[in-house]
């Protein structure tokens, strides 16, 4: 049995611009420094991951997430139908920033700019149904806190994803589906949760010819739609902010067919950008793409 540790960390420069769909409980907002604003609860940010998001047209959230991974065992299925379940451990560490200072990135990463911190370890089990169809149950639970100690909470999510793969010439594509449960329980106050239901398409296509070492660069892109069965209140305790009922995402990335992209001591499945929005326009944002959404 081969065991190896895969560390998926993100560079300092790329993290500066990052933020999540739902950010940490940010005490100040980049474009509205003088007004006291309720902000998105940080407990959701680790689930949604790295990116930048603007909420309600004026409130900005910035979140950095690193996810060390331990691929304990890869999934596989033989021609005779014998299956090996894949087991993948993940250790997301998520930090929220008060503001993003474009002209001075070092100040952006200063400890005084740190708003919150959470750690949410989890495990994925990959189940090969046949050569084209994979199921992936997952579960995570952890704890986080506002840096000043004013709030802390248990955070958790679980669910299952499905990936059905197809091939059309050089184009590989897959139909993705998922259902999940996401919530948090604060030390003081009521628990909050929502149920995301996702459907999406994912594609990859070779870029040019094979390089000198025989590997092939690929374009990756995906489109997905997620509906929240119970409306997601991005801004807590603010009746003026409309809840989010769904989310659309479009993304494109560059990767390699047989190897990971290496930058210094880091390595990635792919590198790219995505755009997310809600149907009511209350959520707009840019995210970073490092993996297939099936593997998140």
pLDDT in tens, 167-216: 999 999 999 999 999 999 988 888 888 899 999 999 999 987 777 676 78
State the pTM of this model: 0.80
Per-residue pLDDT at 55: 77
Residues in the chain: 296
Per-residue pLDDT at 46: 80
As a whole number of angstroms, the distance between CA 145 and CA 46 comes to 12
**Residue 252 and residue 218 in contact, taking contact as beta carbons nearer than 8 Å:** no
Retrieve residue 41's tokens.
């609860």
Indicate the CATH number for domain 4-289. Answer: 2.40.160.40
Instruction: Could you list the beta-strand ranges (E) of the chain.
Output: 4-8, 51-55, 59-73, 76-77, 83-84, 86-90, 93-97, 114-119, 122-128, 133-146, 152-168, 171-186, 192-194, 196-207, 217-232, 244-256, 261-263, 266-268, 270-277, 283-289
* Averaged pLDDT for residues 238-251: 81
Looking at the predicted structure, is the pLDDT value of residue 75 above 90? yes
18-32, 57-71, 108-122: least confidently modelled range: 18-32
Residue 234: pLDDT band with limits 50, 70, 90: low
CA distances from 230 to 97, 191, 194, 237, 251 (A): 28, 14, 6, 17, 25
Question: What residues form DSSP beta bridges with 79?
Answer: none
Q: Which of 54, 296, 35 is nearest to 178 (CA)?
A: 296
CA distances from 35 to 60, 78, 114 (A): 13, 61, 20
40-49, 185-194, 283-292: least confidently modelled range: 40-49
As a whole number of angstroms, the distance between CA 295 and CA 86 comes to 12
Residue 245: pLDDT band with limits 50, 70, 90: confident
As a whole number of angstroms, the distance between CA 134 and CA 125 comes to 10
Per-residue pLDDT at 236: 55
């Amino acid at each position: 049995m081969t065991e190896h540790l895969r560390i998926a960390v993100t560079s300092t420069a790329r993290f500066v611009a990052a933020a999540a769909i739902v950010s940490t409980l940010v005490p100040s907002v980049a474009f509205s420094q003088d007004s006291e604003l309720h902000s998105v609860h940080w407990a959701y940010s680790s689930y949604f991951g790295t990116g930048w998001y603007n909420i309600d047209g004026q409130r900005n959230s910035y979140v950095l997430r690193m996810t060390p991974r331990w691929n304990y065992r890869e999934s596989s299925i033989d021609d005779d139908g014998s299956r090996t379940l894949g087991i993948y451990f993940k250790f997301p560490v998520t930090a929220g920033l008060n503001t993003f200072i474009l002209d001075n990135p070092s100040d952006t990463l200063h400890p005084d700019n740190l708003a919150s911190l959470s750690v949410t370890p989890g495990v994925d089990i990959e189940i090969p149904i046949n050569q084209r169809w994979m199921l992936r149950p997952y579960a995570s639970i952890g704890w986080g806190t506002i840096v000043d100690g004013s709030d802390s909470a248990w955070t958790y999510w679980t669910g299952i994803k499905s990936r059905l793969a197809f091939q059309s010439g050089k184009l590989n594509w897959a139909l993705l589906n998922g259902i999940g449960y996401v919530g948090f329980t604060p030390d003081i106050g009521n628990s909050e949760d929502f149920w995301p239901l996702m459907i999406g398409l994912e594609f990859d296509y070779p870029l040019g010819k094979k390089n000198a070492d025989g590997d092939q660069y690929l374009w990756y892109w995906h489109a997905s739609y997620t509906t929240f069965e119970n409306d997601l209140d991005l801004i807590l305790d603010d009746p003026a902010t409309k809840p989010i009922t769904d989310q659309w995402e479009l993304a494109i990335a560059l990767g390699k067919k047989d190897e990971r992209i290496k930058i210094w001591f880091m390595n990635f499945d792919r590198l790219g950008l995505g755009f997310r929005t809600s149907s009511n326009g209350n959520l707009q944002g840019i995210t970073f793409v490092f993996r297939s959404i099936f593997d998140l």
